[in-house]
A and B are shown apart, each in its own frame.
Chain A
Amino acid sequence: MDTAKVAVIGAGISGLTVANALSTASAEVTLIDRDAHPGGRSVFYGCKAVDTCVRCGVCLLRDAMSELAQNANVNLLLSSSPVSFHRREDGGFELGMQTRPNPIDWRQCTSCGYCLEACPQGAVKQIPGWRFTIDTQVCDECGKCVDACPASAIQLHREPTRTTVDADYVVVASGFRPFDPAVNRKWGYGSNPRVIHGTDLEHLFFEEKYLPRDLIEADGKMAFIQCVGSRNVMEGRSGCSRVCCAYALRMANRIKEEFPELQVDFYYMDIQSFGRNFPEFWQDVSGKINLIRSNPISVKTGPDGRPVVRCEDPDEPGCRESSYDLVSLSHGIEPEVDSAELAELIGLDVNADGFFREADGVGSDGGVFVAGACKRPMRIDDSVEDGRAVSEKILERMREASG
């Protein structure tokens, strides 16, 4: 059969899963991502195993990325976004792509890291499991990285380019956006440096490998606040984001492993169970943390500069206030900021929450599929399962097409 061409928009975990699965079935895959690296959001998450695996799924992503690296059939198009979308008469698709190449050419980069050392602005980022990229928002173009690079892989000004991607099938795997707690002043995000969110905590704990020093001294106290931006009609998301109880409990468990003396308070509404061995995990972790069944009213700054969490006291009538050294807001999953535009460009249906509807071969004669968290909140393992299921649906279409 003729080699089918598939364009996958989004190289996060579900896009990677689809690309890897289809490329082994002799399809020619173009994997597109607007970032300068594949892996999407979860590339910055860390493994939360303590003495046993807790099934957080981060290793699945790492594995998908190394599979991608060895995959000759996947054409990786980074720093690119679709700007036009046409259905051809013969049933295929033409995507107009705009590419704004990163100063670091990933094909030349040897991951030596000298650019990171040379950069005075901290604009060079090491992408876990990948190479180095430059954050052009932070870069002041001093050029020290260019001089330091032994592979001559850095060029500060690269011209944007336009290309066309032809495809018989298109998979939208554009992912999600984490809720930005700054939009609601009650959370205190942005007004106190000790109030961070779940994604910040991943960076802090795994990349920079530290928590604020005084936090881990004897009386250190930390709070996790669940359902930030979820289960709250006022914040625009009435549904549960599915991932936050899982990631916050695993993170709390991991942090307690490293800092056993740290007091961890966990503010929640309902604990969502996840995975088949949840009862054992829950028995273990619930003994290590302080469960407070209350969704806080506010997080303000106290007179000593530390954040103060105010909530309805779950035990006594009235309110309770507690001071912490660090507050982590477990923010939820929302549709991507440009998902409405992407939906219009490609012709996807959007549900009341703004997520894309399941689409297996929609369009005038099919060919457009949707995978991953752009449809509904998904954990890493859910995304892999979904990606595989979508891959098979495409393979089925490919089989039918070849007769």
Chain B
Amino acid sequence: MQGVSVVMCDFSCQPRKKVDCRSLRKELAKAGIQVVVAKKPCRQGIENLDDLQGEKVLFAGCPLLEENGLYGRFRERFSAAPANFLDLDVKRSILDLYDDAKSIEQALSRSIKAHARILEAKEAEATETVKPEAKVLVYGAGYSGLHAAAALCATDVSVDVLETSGPTVSPGCLAEALRNRDAVRKLRAAVEQSQNGVFIPHRNGVRLSALENGFHMRTGDGMEALYGAVVFAPERVEGPCAEEGALNLSALYAALERRQQLRGITAFLLDRGRPSTPEVVRDVLEAAKIIRDAHRGEVWVLLRNVQVSLQYQEELYGDCRDAGVVFVKYREDLSLVDDYGSFDIAGHDEQVHTAFSIHPDRLVIPQIPRLPAEAGVFAAALKLRLEKDEYSQSDSLWNLPNDTNRTGVFAVGSARSGMIPTLIRQDVSSLVAAVEERLDPAGFAVEENIPVVDADKCVYCLTCVRVCPFGAMAKDPEQGAARVIASACRACGICVAECPAEALEVRNLRREALFSAVEALAEAPDTRPPAAGSPAAGPPAAAPTSGGDS
């Protein structure tokens, strides 16, 4: 192999394993691979590196080399392009698995040969930088959307807010919205008055297509714009209760807002069918307290578990009890009889071991907050993956705080999870950081291993467009082939695997390179230790039979 040099650590930190670097070096030289053995590179750096300038270099060492900045310094010193550089952690993958030198040397030999072939096949491509358009689209003019828009306007980026006809607050924020009726209006005014915030009424027929430097939007009335980032921030809406005559939480709060007198018995029924969430319980507790304090109504809260994990919620629960709210933790045998809006509820109180039965004048059953249909249509246009309960962020922790499945599209506040106002405000801060990073004037570098479309092989079936989890493949009607939106691609490789015509290859890692690497690995006999706990486990594998050793 021409042009690939290997820098190998001398593994002197493992004196007992006695890896014979010199014999390994000779063996690899026979296969055409030049090896430099570095003495304690993690501590002493690497000497004799000047000879390697311009070569492709494979480092075989341990994570300490990365941690001690060695690779960074090398890359900087020789301006090593990604195609000319590869580093391996042979400590965790080989050294730590074996005790005898022979097995280690064989495994190292195979691994180095295979990776040298991969490195040899890596093509030098210029890294692309994409500069997204410095404009943000915020979907949703409710509490979350307006907070986000106001904060973004304050950073001087141009913000368009797409208005929706949905609610302005979601469950979790109902109590605060009642206390502070002007909140939403003031946020709206802040955006209107800023120089860079504009409201766009949402009409049907919004079309979105992803381009290299952003999302192109065209509305039904012919407005067009390009956005470098999109913030998805719809509020969520509670559906009506299945039980006729019962109120959902939003309806109760609407009544409170109208200053309707809530006399008689109000009962809240939680946890039926599904556990409640802490922010909904927050709104329930606040409403219960208001009805007791201001309206002097009798209040029962029937639930299975009191959610108190938010800060100060235990105190709020205590305040409700002090105000005379009756809490009943019911057993599974709760019965609810709905006689055209007149309710009879009976069951057993788990805490005091007695039966109870009430006939409330008003029954409030919080419903699971849902995404408004309109927002769902927009999400579909954006190819946004909606997960559990239509939240626009998957439950994966790796998306925290504000990422979605599409690069450049962010979720904030009630769009991504049930939240109370303080947490929404906190979330808006991290959103601003994410948007700023996305709109960095210096641009961002595209992933190295994005796919490349061979237009001659492509049959325009658009399987890749359908399977891409990140919405990074699109149609190119002029070419009659698929095209890659490099800025959205996260180099997962699914399209390459799924293409029936094999028209997609990973840039920088073509099929031939992969196959050669597999061949190299297949050439030597398997000397991996057997899995722990299997009958074959015991002393490390004996020396292999003669022949087949290369």
Contacts and interface: CB of A to CB of B under 8 A. Distances in A.
Contacts of A60: 397-398, 400
Contacts of A391: 430, 433
Contact of B397 (A70, A317, A381, A389): A381
Interface stretch (B253-261, B309-317, B358-366): B309-317
Contacts of B305: 270-273
Interface of A (DSSP majority class): loop
B430 A385 contact: yes
A238 B417 CA distance: 27
A108 B433 contact: no
A381 B307 CA distance: 19
A388 to B, nearest CB: 4
Contacts of B309: 240, 242, 245, 272-274, 377
B397 A57 contact: yes
A390 B427 CA distance: 10
B34 interface: no
Interface stretch (B62-70, B170-178, B476-484, B535-543): B62-70
B64 to A, nearest CB: 6
A55 B433 contact: no
B67 A376 contact: no
B69 A273 contact: no
Contact of A271 (B14, B275, B388): B275
Interface stretch (A135-143, A194-202, A392-400): A392-400
Nearest to B95: A112
A395 B400 contact: no
Contacts of A110: 13, 42-43, 62, 64
Interface stretch (A159-167, A276-284, A299-307, A339-347): A276-284
Interface in B426-483: 426-427, 429-430, 432-433, 436
B530 interface: no
A59 interface: yes
Contacts of B155: 396, 399
B350 A112 contact: no
A50 interface: no
B321 to A, nearest CB: 13
Contact of A111 (B64, B69, B315): B64
B395 interface: yes
B278 interface: yes
Nearest to A352: B315
B396 A53 contact: yes
The range of chain A's interface size is: 35 or more
A395 B436 contact: yes
Nearest to B156: A399
A238 B314 contact: yes
B389 interface: yes
B395 A55 contact: yes
Interface string B166-189: 000000000000000000000000
Contacts of B426: 385-386, 389
Given A55-B395, A399-B155, A272 B278 contact: yes
Contacts of B42: 110
Given A110-B13, A240-B313, A293-B350, A270 B397 contact: no
B72 interface: yes
Contact of A239 (B12, B63, B278, B315): B315
A385 B400 contact: yes
Given A272-B307, A389-B427, A69 B66 contact: yes
Interface string A89-123: 00000000000000000011011100000000000
A357 B231 CA distance: 30
A384 B400 CA distance: 8
A270 B433 contact: no
Interface string B51-68: 000000000001110111
Contacts of B427: 385, 389
B71 to A, nearest CB: 9
A111 B14 CA distance: 10
B395 A275 contact: yes
Given A240-B314, A393-B429, A388 B401 contact: yes
A276 B62 CA distance: 39
Given A151-B13, A385-B426, A388-B430, A270 B275 contact: no
B15 interface: yes
A242 B276 CA distance: 15
Contacts of B353: 317
A72 B417 CA distance: 35
A314 B315 CA distance: 25
Given A270-B307, A276-B417, A388 B433 contact: yes
Contacts, number: 131
A68 to B, nearest CB: 9
A60 B426 CA distance: 20
Interface string B317-359: 0100000000001000000000000000000001001000000
Contacts of B516: none
B274 interface: yes
Contacts of B350: 293, 314
A57 B395 CA distance: 12
B285 interface: no
B306 interface: yes
B491 interface: no
B391 interface: yes
A150 interface: yes
A186 B155 CA distance: 55
A395 B432 CA distance: 10
Given A240-B309, A273-B305, A273-B307, A70 B67 contact: yes
Contacts of A288: none
A21 interface: yes
B308 A272 contact: yes
A276 B311 contact: no
A150 B12 contact: yes
B407 interface: no
A271 B307 CA distance: 7
B111 interface: no
Contacts of A231: 308, 314
Contact of B274 (A108, A279, A377): A279
Nearest to A153: B43
B401 A384 contact: yes
Contacts of B313: 239-240
Interface string A57-72: 1011000000001101
Interface in B391-414: 391, 395-398, 400-401
A222 B64 CA distance: 41
B277 interface: yes
B314 A239 contact: yes
A233 B266 CA distance: 30
B314 to A, nearest CB: 5
A69 B67 contact: yes
Given A277-B388, A381-B397, A381-B400, A240 B429 contact: no
A151 B43 contact: yes
B388 A276 contact: yes
A322 B48 CA distance: 70
A231 B315 CA distance: 10
A59 B309 CA distance: 23
Contacts of B389: 276
A314 B353 CA distance: 8
A110 B95 CA distance: 13
Contacts of A272: 278, 305, 307-309
18 contacts: A53-B396, A69-B63, A70-B66, A150-B13, A150-B15, A151-B13, A231-B314, A245-B309, A271-B305, A272-B307, A272-B308, A273-B275, A273-B278, A273-B305, A276-B391, A388-B401, A396-B155, A399-B155
Complex A-B, nearest 4 residue pairs according to Cβ-Cβ distance, in ascending order: A392-B433, A388-B430, A389-B429, A110-B13
Given A273-B305, A389-B401, A389-B426, 5 more contacts: A111-B64, A150-B12, A231-B314, A239-B314, A388-B429
Interface of B: 12-15, 40, 42-43, 62-64, 66-69, 72, 155, 274-278, 305-315, 318, 329, 350, 353, 387-389, 391, 395-398, 400-401, 417, 426-427, 429-430, 432-433, 436
